[in-house]
Amino acid sequence: MKELERARWRCRRGLLELDIVLQRFMDRHYLQLSDKDLQQFATLLDLSDNDLWDMVTSRKEPEDAGLRPLLELLQAV
Amino acid sequence: MAIARRKFDAVIVGAGGAGMRAALQLSEAGLKVAVLSKVFPTRSHTVAAQGGIAAALGNVTEDNWHWHMYDTVKGSDYLGDQDAIEFMCRQANEVVYELEHFGMPFDRLENGKIYQRPFGGQSQNFGGAQATRSCAAADRTGHAMLHTLYQRNVRANTQFFIEWMGLDLIRDEQGDVLGVTAMEMETGEVMVLEAKATLFATGGAGRIFQASTNAFINTGDGLGMTARAGIPLEDMEFWQFHPTGVYGVGVLISEAVRGEGGYLLNKDGERFMQRYAPHAKDLASRDVVSRALTMEIKEGRGCGKDADHLLLKLDHLGADVINMRLPGIREIAIKFAQVDPIKEPIPVVPTAHYMMGGIPTNFHGQVVAPYKTGPEEVVPGFYAVGECACVSVHGANRLGTNSLLDIIVFGRAAGNQIIEDLKKSPHHKPLPVDVADRTLARLARLESQKGGESVAQVGTALRKTMQAHCGVFRFADMLKEGVAKIGEVAERAAQTEIKDKSKVFNTARIEALELDNLAEVALATMVSAEARNESRGAHARDDFPERDDEKWLKHTLYFSTDRRLDYKPVRLKPMTVESFPPKPRVY
């Protein structure tokens, strides 16, 4: 229950850059995500702001290569 | 309705650098401490601080705290309280070494000492050569600080309440503060958190402006709670604007772009900064450049179909320089302005960045208000630190790298003060019978509201009004109109309607409650700005272009309950050294 709302709140970050990118991602992609995607999205949201931003801007690779497809969506929004 | 209650020695609202530094002091002294945060602590806005933390360590060039004090007083345009500024600058070295000892990964010099770099506004010898005073951890000093403090707090058994929002301050008949009401987002339940000491460290409120560099969480919750409880807000007309935020989104384009040779253009392709600052041009100080951009737009030389922004050109630097020397800028421009700066200029506007005003405190972090007999009487049980507080070390204009110092010095000082105060009054005072009435009334209103506007709609109106009427440059007629308009917006904010009435994780309700706080901050800002008939620091009036020390060398106090203004003197007398008397502020 209220998973969308929880995710939306956890997209509130310390960096405005991430606030905006994650809001766009929520609006465009969240509802289409599979269960596996959702799990991976939660993993990404648990990262610290700077690590996540580095991945969104392709300056850092995720340790888990499985996160790449989802990151590509985030990079494109 | 019975409301759950929990008791702590201290309750801290906000888990950024200020709140966590204070919490650490208290937890390590063995006190029972609760820290409330809307988001996970390491996602607080402190994470966005890049520049570093100022301290006259003298590791690179000769330095001392007295020079730092002079720079800060001058930077504040003489509105800063000189006792608090002396206190901060004298403690800087100690608090930085303490952070080092906590494990904060500062950059190092070859000799192993903390690396320091130069930063704008910092000088040697009272306005002489550039000082080298900023201690940094790459361009991620705030991030390193937050993580260091969070780890230490976990070890010290600080109790974090994550995804909790503070709603209202609890005061008894004597005016003493006894805790807060708060909501757990997961359950939607309201709880009374009783405390012998309540400390606000809720950060800034930049979201009152349409163009803001602040994260979405910066809604001024502590200021809203304070204002509703009858305590004034100080110097709310003073907001620092950064000249180059990306048009339409606010994301900051660092000064480094202009440092590397980028420059600003108007719609005629003119390098207009030459007219405003013939020597420094595009590298003039933030307030000067912000005002120039605003004048260009005001006089019809803005770009785009609405003639409402300027262009930051850097393609002439070439792809190599942009990629090598300005990492991240290209990604930001492509992502947020849809332009590749290697080929095209970036659309920018002056963007709200930092709130110099806030909850009035002394340099012990105690909230002070003229609510009984004197103008600066301590409000027992209530403390505030960081951007939400006005201590006032930044006065009318903050210097870069002084905010990370502010949060650590006064976070620690407030912690120490609370420890002392609790020795004298070790018991909880009885709670008033109407402890949560104000909060419950607000929630009941939201619950039953019919036919109101959406929170998003009113929020947009609020931000537009603030941007148009109380931005970088302020005009008498616009301010006058702005006071009426923002009053109307506040009325609308008090009648918003939410569709989702459920309890569990209701973000619509949270956002409605945040809007209440934004409205308090917006009103305080507009009313205070309209009344101040001078230009000082970040407050620039078209009709009063000069600083007026005769009439306006004083702090504004705004009372929300009757939207009244009062004033109190600036503390010009430092703790031990001679006062720095007001002089023209020339760089």
The half-sphere exposure of B241 on its side-chain side, counting CA atoms within 13 A, is 30
Q: Which of B140, B215, B327 sits opposite A13 (nearest CB)?
A: B215
Tell me the ipTM for this assembly.
Answer: 0.97
Residue of A nearest to B329 (CA): A57
CB contact under 8 A, B251 and A8: no
Q: Which of B43, B251, B328 sits opposite A14 (nearest CB)?
A: B43
Kind of pairing between the strands at B554-559 and B564-569: antiparallel
Structure tokens at B389: 């507080």
Contact partners, residue B487, CB within 8 Å, separation at least 6: B523, B563
Partners of B251 on chain A (C-beta within 8 Å) are 16-17, 20
Tell me which H or E stretch contains B312.
strand B310-313
Average pLDDT over residues B444-448: 95
CB contact under 8 A, B505 and A15: no
Model confidence pLDDT, tens digit, residues B513-527: 999 999 999 999 999
Partners of A9 on chain B (C-beta within 8 Å) are 39, 163, 185, 505, 507, 510
Q: Amino acid letter at B484?
A: A
Structure tokens at B587: 């760089």
Average pLDDT over residues B174-196: 97
CB contact under 8 A, B506 and A5: yes
Model confidence pLDDT, tens digit, residues B204-256: 999 999 999 999 999 999 999 999 999 999 999 999 999 999 999 999 998 88
Tell me which H or E stretch contains B244.
strand B239-246
CA-based nearest distance B43→chain A, Å: 5
Nearest Cα to Cα of residue B415 among B149, B175, B136, B191: B149
- Per-position DSSP letters for chain A, written without gaps between them: --HHHHHHHHT--SSHHHHHHHHHHHHHTGGG--HHHHHHHHHHHTS-HHHHHHHHTTSS--SSGGGHHHHHHHHH-
| Angstrom distance (rounded) from CA B274 to CA B345 | 18
Per-residue burial over B457-476, b = 16 or more CB atoms within 10 Å of its CB, e = otherwise: ebbebbbebbbebbbbbbbe
CA angle B359, B365, B368 (to 5 degrees): 50
Nearest Cα to Cα of residue B286 among B322, B311, B253, B237: B253
Average pLDDT over residues B357-367: 98
Site from B37, B143, B514 to mutate, A interface, most A CB atoms within 10 angstroms: B143
The yes-or-no verdict on residue B330 having pLDDT over 70 is yes
Q: Which of A9, A20, A49 sits opposite B185 (nearest CB)?
A: A9
Q: Which of B38, B215, B504 sits opposite A19 (nearest CB)?
A: B215
Average pLDDT over residues B155-183: 97
| Angstrom distance (rounded) from CA A11 to CA A5 | 10
Model confidence pLDDT, tens digit, residues B333-350: 999 999 999 999 999 999
| Angstrom distance (rounded) from CA B41 to CA B50 | 18
Model confidence pLDDT, tens digit, residues A15-43: 999 999 999 999 999 999 999 999 999 99
Partners of B216 on chain A (C-beta within 8 Å) are 12-13, 16, 19
Q: What is the CA radius of gyration of chain B?
A: 23
What residues of A are in the B interface, CB distance below 8 Å?
1-2, 5-6, 8-10, 12-17, 19-21, 48-50, 57-59
Is residue B523 within 8 Å of residue B462, measured between CB atoms?
Answer: no
